[in-house]
Structure 1
Amino acid sequence: MPFIPHTQDEIDAMLAAIGVPQIETLFDEIPAGLRSSALQAVPEALSEMEVARLMRGRAAQDAGALSFIGAGAYEHHIPAAVWEIATRGEFYSAYTPYQAEASQGTLQLIYEYQSMMTGLTGMEVSNASLYDGASALAEAVLMAVRLNRKSKSRRVLMPRSVHPAYRATAHAIVHAQGIELVDLPFDAASGRLDPAALEAYADQDITALVVPQPNFFGVLEEVDVLTDWAAEHGVTLIAVVNPLTLAVLEPPGGWGGAGADIVVGDGQPLGAPLSSGGPYYGFMCTRQAHVRQMPGRLVGRAIDADGKPGFVLTLQAREQHIRRSKATSNICTNQGLVVTASTIHMALLGPEGLARVAAASYANTHALVERLRPLGAEPVFGGEFFHEVALRLPRAAAPVLEHMAAQGVLGGYELGGDGYGMSDAVLVCATETKTEDDLQRYVEALASALEA
């Protein structure tokens, strides 16, 4: 219901029945200092017509800019069929499928999603999604601690080339549980983690190592060497990946001699629009041997008593199903609708389509870099990059980006914050959605901004 339809007489009758004079008395245990006062900032009520007009105006402010911002949320073409199907009533209004006998369609779709994600990542098992990529990393850290029982330190090596929002989220979730996230610096020349830096930890008790691919700067890490180091030293390896790039890059299951132990990331590049920040969803894949420590839910395929195939929920080690102290996660739902869109998106594009999108994004970003060199914009790092690149500008980045935005071009993500201190650098991304004219428009907007 959109509201509680009780009349004042009904409310008075209920209060009288429980012997309470007024509703406020039900909250008398809350100290006065913690109670909110009158909501002064709430404006006067508007009619439906006035609200619709206001929201149309607000929506119009969020349109028309040509965006080259990536930094974890990427603009990709989404076939029209994706959300036409995902927003059908059968999917759009469905909640989590607790009652398997009434949710076979939803369960089958999630099963297909899990199969696709294991194919992309080269792992054996996928769960049915998490909240987002950042919290998925935190869950992976918690899972790694449960897995690596030989390690008693609860220390996790976290490169500073991991997305800063992911690092902050992981810290917020795990630091109070006695888990230490140890910062690893990235090489100033290449922009990637130097494998030699790990030797300082070779004789120490380390629980897990996080490896991003590509990293926050778009640079490709030396994943094979890092994975082999982790395996040699009994360290659980957590891969943080962009799922789209796995259409052309080596999947984490094939890294080094043993492959990654846990793979996480955000599913946004697979059919989710930018949407001013979400909702998105996190994915997690692992090895079959680790499946009982994986949080969230899994969907399995089974045969019923009549010999007919069906889909069921399985291995739900969650607080709603077993003792809370034994739960691997208190995640109470998944981002089911966005997962639905991703499944449809991957099914429509297929392996070849995803590979073409990844290849076009790679080509566009590299082409843009070459066009910008004559303006004095150069890559900050020398390492190979995918479809995102850190560019150093001839002057401070903030006013340049502001001037470009005034021309209708969102020129990138400024790297002056997040502890990187590169106030003259921007993180730029050009996906398959960008045309030759779009790239030229960026060049012209940057040239104008540098001259201003």
Structure 2
Amino acid sequence: MHKYIPTTKKDKEEMLKEIGCESVDRLFDDIPEDVKFKGDLNIGNSLSELEIRKHMGNLSSKNKTINDLTCFLGAGAYDHYIPSVVDHVISRSEFYTAYTPYQAEISQGTLQTIFEFQSLICNLTGMDVANASVYDGATAIAEGAITAVLSTRKNEIVISKTVHPEYRKVLKTYAKAQDLDVIEVDDDNGTTDIDKLKESVSDNTAAVIVQHPNFFGLLEDVEEIEKITHSAKKAKFMVSVDPISLGILKSPGEYGADIVVGEGQSLGNNLNFGGPYLGFMATTKKLMRKLPGRIVGETKDKDGNRAFVLTLQAREQHIRREKATSNICSNQALNALAATVYLTALGKKGIREVAVNSAKNAHYAFDKITESGKYKPLFNKPFFKEFPITSDVPSDKLNSELLENNILGGYKLGKDYPQYSNSTLYCVTEKRTKEEIDKLSEVLEGIK
């Protein structure tokens, strides 16, 4: 992998000669003339390494990143500390340039990292088996719903409106193509309306989906929701979780979840302007053969040495198309490796420390912002690291003023929840200092 590869005129001539082609244009002879682009692309002249570095630097400087701003924005992507060992490992060329293991017998290193990722996700969620992996938290929910449908042979999905709005949109897109019915359940003061949930669950329900902590950062009554779900024959209880929260909250396996999904970005992956991320999915053993993607297993080779194989491959490229559970054709192996290194480096105590410090910082920020009474809590319920605040000042104005003070403000809830206009969702992780939180509060107090 090189940042700059110079290609001279002589290099081009030698490459064309090697492949027996007289010109670059001849490489495109198969394209009909009437659709072929005529003229030159407007990309400017070639640049030297020094010139291109300066040009790209000028372009990138137009963006503001979390290196320039103090981040209080969450809503599905989180600014957690990433130990330097994560980048050190994933930058190794054998990992950085590797794609998905089609020839498993020669991909032992890749297979082992995926196996370790699966094992860590199982430990974290308290579930029996995990795959590796799906694209992001949104597709994880959609694929989890299809897993439930395949298992129950029912076509109705019940999902709380406290689940991430974008995740619900992706689910609806998948559901439309699969002729599935998606029933959304309203919130009651920030958490799933239990009475409406009871009314929505029926004998045709394949899965009930909630997020815990939910999109507002609040803790759902997952044990009560589990009872309601399993009161319907064969219905599966699916929970979307913040993996960091599992450092202090009960694991989904402890409260009876059948399918656990989530966004793994917070596990050692940068914000990356929105991607790539990775979705994780774990289930009970009963649902193992309905999982999309791949499952790597441990075995021994002919000499008795520890080895790894693709144990289950329920995708359309590996088995009869009509028997496939999914068309997930890529796994996020490099992102999953980052999560594996992160979880290994921190261990049980480290994950708990991140979760505890995030919660402490968030509650300090909540108290600080609301102490004067100018800003009020939107809900009065337990939360983890995110909380919504309401005021008479529009969210857009708040965020604009904060940005002028080099602070990346919260998420405008009115965008997805019109009933909560002028409400902003703030996120506080273990990275935020007392001074940064105090400055946030100070700037907010000064906004008229």
Q: Same fold judged by TM-score > 0.5?
A: yes
Task: Return 326-335 or 262-271, whichever deviates more.
Answer: 326-335
Structure 2 residue 273 is the aligned partner of structure 1 residue 276: yes
Structure 1 match to 2:184: 183
Structure 2 counterpart of 1:171, which letter?
A: K
Structure 2 match to 1:247: 247
Shift of 1:420: 3.4
Task: Return 41-50 or 54-63, whichever deviates more.
Answer: 41-50
Question: Paired residues, what number?
Answer: 432
Does the CA-based 8 Å contact 2:117-2:336 persist in structure 1? yes
CA deviations over 1:20-64 (Å, ceiling 9, x no partner): x99466447xxx7xx697799944245143332122123333241
Q: What is the TM-score with the length of structure 1 in the denominator?
A: 0.90
Shift of 1:389: 0.6
Structure 2 match to 1:287: 284
Structure 2 match to 1:297: 294
Task: Return 323-332 or 122-131, whichever deviates more.
Answer: 323-332
Structure 1 counterpart of 2:229, which letter?
A: A
Q: Secondary structure at the match of 1:269?
A: coil
- Give the direction of change, closer, same or farther, for the CA distance of 1:46–1:309 in structure 2 (3 Å limit): same
From 322, 332, 335, give the equivalent of 1:325: 322
Structure 2 match to 1:110: 114
Structure 1 counterpart of 2:405, which letter?
A: Q
Q: Percent identity?
A: 38
CA deviations over 1:96-135 (Å, ceiling 9, x no partner): 1222332212211211111110011010001011111101
Structure 2 match to 1:365: 362
Shift of 1:406: 1.2
Structure 1 match to 2:416: 418
Structure 1: runs of 5+ lacking an equivalent: 16-20
Structure 2 residue 439 is the aligned partner of structure 1 residue 441: yes
Report the Cα distance in structure 1 between the residues aligned to 2:237 and 2:369, rounded to whole angstroms: 37
Shift of 1:433: 0.1
Q: Secondary structure at the match of 1:276?
A: helix
Does the CA-based 8 Å contact 1:86-1:341 persist in structure 2? yes
Report the Cα distance in structure 1 between the residues aligned to 2:209 and 2:362, rounded to whole angstroms: 26
Q: Secondary structure at the match of 1:197?
A: helix
From 62, 65, 77, give the equivalent of 2:64: 62
Does the CA-based 8 Å contact 2:374-2:445 persist in structure 1? no
Alignment of 1:224-235 (within 5 A): 224-234=223-233, 235=235
Task: Return 164-173 or 100-109, whichever deviates more.
Answer: 100-109
Report the Cα distance in structure 1 between the residues aligned to 2:128 and 2:352, rounded to whole angstroms: 21
Report the Cα distance in structure 1 between the residues aligned to 2:173 and 2:40, rounded to whole angstroms: 32
Structure 2 residue 189 is the aligned partner of structure 1 residue 194: no
- Give the direction of change, closer, same or farther, for the CA distance of 1:219–1:9 in structure 2 (3 Å limit): closer
CA deviations over 1:227-284 (Å, ceiling 9, x no partner): 11111112211111111111111111111xxx11111111111100112112110000
Structure 2 match to 1:18: none
CA deviations over 1:308-362 (Å, ceiling 9, x no partner): 2211111101111112221111111211111111111101100110001001111
Structure 2 counterpart of 1:161, which letter?
A: T
- Give the direction of change, closer, same or farther, for the CA distance of 1:46–1:174 in structure 2 (3 Å limit): farther
Does the CA-based 8 Å contact 1:369-1:378 persist in structure 2? no
Report the Cα distance in structure 2 between the residues aligned to 1:420 and 1:50, rounded to whole angstroms: 49
Report the Cα distance in structure 1 between the residues aligned to 2:53 and 2:322, rounded to whole angstroms: 48
Structure 1 match to 2:89: 85
Report the Cα distance in structure 1 between the residues aligned to 2:32 and 2:327, rounded to whole angstroms: 28
Report the Cα distance in structure 2 between the residues aligned to 1:275 and 1:39, rounded to whole angstroms: 35
Shift of 1:285: 0.2
Q: What is the TM-score with the length of structure 2 in the denominator?
A: 0.90
Q: Secondary structure at the match of 1:331?
A: coil
Structure 2 match to 1:377: 375
Structure 2 match to 1:158: 159
Structure 2 counterpart of 1:123, which letter?
A: M
CA deviations over 1:376-433 (Å, ceiling 9, x no partner): 1122112211100111023111111111101101111111212434331111001000
Report the Cα distance in structure 1 between the residues aligned to 2:136 and 2:52, rounded to whole angstroms: 31
Q: Secondary structure at the match of 1:315?
A: strand
Structure 2 counterpart of 1:59, which letter?
A: S
Q: Secondary structure at the match of 1:416?
A: helix
Structure 1 match to 2:76: 72
Report the Cα distance in structure 2 between the residues aligned to 1:323 and 1:42, rounded to whole angstroms: 46
Shift of 1:73: 0.4
Report the Cα distance in structure 2 between the residues aligned to 1:397 and 1:41, rounded to whole angstroms: 42
Structure 2 counterpart of 1:207, which letter?
A: A
Does the CA-based 8 Å contact 1:398-1:423 persist in structure 2? no
Structure 2 residue 351 is the aligned partner of structure 1 residue 354: yes
Report the Cα distance in structure 2 between the residues aligned to 1:39 and 1:131, rounded to whole angstroms: 38
Does the CA-based 8 Å contact 1:211-1:240 persist in structure 2? yes
Structure 2 match to 1:391: 389
Structure 2 counterpart of 1:208, which letter?
A: A
Report the Cα distance in structure 1 between the residues aligned to 2:56 and 2:31, rounded to whole angstroms: 37
Does the CA-based 8 Å contact 1:130-1:282 persist in structure 2? yes
Structure 1 counterpart of 2:210, which letter?
A: V
Report the Cα distance in structure 2 between the residues aligned to 1:51 and 1:295, rounded to whole angstroms: 42
Shift of 1:172: 1.4
Structure 2 match to 1:344: 341
Structure 2: runs of 5+ lacking an equivalent: none
Structure 2 residue 136 is the aligned partner of structure 1 residue 132: yes
Q: Secondary structure at the match of 2:89?
A: helix
- Give the direction of change, closer, same or farther, for the CA distance of 1:50–1:420 in structure 2 (3 Å limit): farther
For the aligned residue pairs, the C-alpha RMSD in angstroms reads 2.5
Shift of 1:6: 3.6
Does the CA-based 8 Å contact 1:157-1:183 persist in structure 2? yes
Report the Cα distance in structure 2 between the residues aligned to 1:418 and 1:42, rounded to whole angstroms: 39
Does the CA-based 8 Å contact 2:129-2:285 persist in structure 1? yes
Q: Secondary structure at the match of 2:431?
A: coil
Shift of 1:307: 2.3
Does the CA-based 8 Å contact 2:315-2:327 persist in structure 1? yes
Task: Return 237-246 or 98-107, whichever deviates more.
Answer: 98-107
Q: Secondary structure at the match of 2:94?
A: helix
